[in-house]
Amino acid sequence: MYAIVDIAGQQFKVEKGNQIFVNRLAAEVGAAVDFEKVLLTDNEGTINVGAPYVQGASIKATVMEHCKADKVIVFHKIRRKGLKKKNGHRQYLTKIQIEEIA
């Protein structure tokens, strides 16, 4: 069984036991979180598509840790002008484990 869920503005395909990285959530480590914005569920070939969300479906997950993503380098250059600008960015992430699809 799997589901497609909207978490913090992004869509993820989740199954029970998966660990995924999402944008930083305002929850403590070890806390249980519920996601109600389920777009699609698949239960052994029986597919339920929401309009826009599946009624009565929810995802239960546990917050494992808060971390940062790998550094992304942003480099701007304008040729023949001598302009170079280098920036770096690390996105704040939350690692969650999917406990149940209901």
> What pLDDT digit, counting tens, does each position of 50-96 carry?
999 999 999 999 999 999 999 999 999 999 999 999 999 999 999 99
In the chain, where the domains are located: 2-101
pTM recorded for the entire structure: 0.84
Q: How far is CA 85 from CA 89, 90, 93, 97, in A?
A: 13, 17, 26, 38
For residue 3, how many other CB atoms are within 10 A of its CB? 24
